[in-house]
Amino acid sequence: MKIKLIPGDSAGTVTAFYMNFDTDNLRDELDFEFLGNMSGQPYTVQTNLYAHGKGDREQRVNLWFDPSATFHTYSILWNHHHVVFSVDDVPIRVYKNNEVRGIPYPKSQPMGVYSTLWEADDWATRGGLEKIDWSKAPFYAYYTTFDIEGCSVPGPAACASNPINWWEAPAYQELDALQARRYKWVRMNHLIYDYCSNKSRYPVPPPECYAGI
């Protein structure tokens, strides 16, 4: 999806682009959440992942450009090997399939695609210190050029495991050398929060944090 975010003072807002399957007791979800900012401050994108009902896997990256000035591309690659969140083809997060180690991975349920824009000034900007300035309302984000490829539901049950699906090919099972360099650059220069490093929240890091995710 190409998205142009809210310009100016967007503090307290969250613009979201995400995939979701939600039942009463088993939620899978892949999130882009764009956290509003005060004018002139960096825009932060938060990614999150739910697998088999378990979430709380937030990571935050400060974007290295003004995402309200023009459209940028935000994409999710989801296959049996990993989930890759990318911005303009630059990977900002990778969550690997480590089911062999007993770590949940979202692969058994279909997901729909959603977009929302909502008020979250109790937490979205500087931990809730900056509130929405309603005099700036209405707030607009713009979406265009949506593209999706995958297995449709309802559809052939064998589609998801079909080896001819391009997204399951060897080239998409891990980052290539250029993607790996870009991913390292983002993690070193723009990552501002990783749940794996939050000792007050997780005195013992979750098992996927030890698995190199």
Active centre residues (catalytic): 29, 33
**Do the beta carbons of residue 15 and residue 135 sit within 8 Å?**
no
Return d(Cα 160, Cα 150) in angstroms, integer.
Answer: 8
Contacts of 211 (CB under 8 A, 6+ apart): 96, 98, 101, 103
Residue 58 to residues 94, 95, 137, 165, 194, Cα–Cα distance (Å): 12, 12, 28, 29, 6
Return d(Cα 121, Cα 79) in angstroms, integer.
Answer: 34
Paired tokens of 87: 């911005």
Return d(Cα 139, Cα 97) in angstroms, integer.
Answer: 37
Paired tokens of 40: 């002139």
Paired tokens of 159: 């589609």
Helix, strand, coil shares of the chain, percent, nearest 5, are 20, 35, 50
Residue 177: enclosing H or E segment and its boundaries? Answer: helix 177-189
